[in-house]
A = this chain, B = another copy of it.
Amino acid sequence: MKSYRKELWFKTPQRRGYINITSQVRDCLVASGIREGLCLVNAMHITASVFINDDEHGLHQDFEAWLEGLAPHQPLSRYQHNRTGEDNGDAHLKRCIMGREVVVTVTEGDLDFGPWEQIFYGEFDGRRNKRVLVKIIGD
């Protein structure tokens, strides 16, 4: 069994943002030389997500409005977590909705996707350098 590991770094200019990381994950897969197996992609930070959905700008605006409705950033006093001096209580909850990780099938040396599947990094507490971990195992 082969294994491959790489960290990807991201810094969003605003507090929240969505970045299509599919091509970077595919680059990892090519570098790994793995043809059949599984590829795990996870946020290494607990106020960010990795998820699979559509690369459509209107949908990303829908994510933003919907998540802000389910777990509003303001008022900061809404969250006990913010009593620690943080202001990212909402980001911890938004990340629960969108998920920490995806596991993708590797078949014949490529990401084995349906027609519209794209991998996104979802940032809910950005403006600083944060990491995504890619681990691929297989043959």
Partner of A96, one of B40, B53, B80, B133: B53
Given contacts A59-B81, A92-B54, contact A40 B103 (CB under 8 A): yes
Q: How many copies does the complex hold?
A: 3
Which residues from 1 to 55 on chain A have a C-beta closer than 8 Å to any C-beta of chain B?
1, 3, 5, 36-38, 40, 42-46, 51-54
Residue contact B80 to A61, C-beta cutoff 8 Å: yes
Interface string of A39-78 (1 = CB under 8 A from B): 0101111100001111011110111001000110000000
A3-B139, A38-B135 known; A45 and B80 CB under 8 Å?
A: no
What interface size band does chain A fall in? 35 or more
The CA-CA distance from A98 to B96 in the complex, in Å, is 6
Closest to A100 in B: B52
Q: Which residues of B lie under 8 Å from residue A52 when comparing CB positions?
A: 46, 100
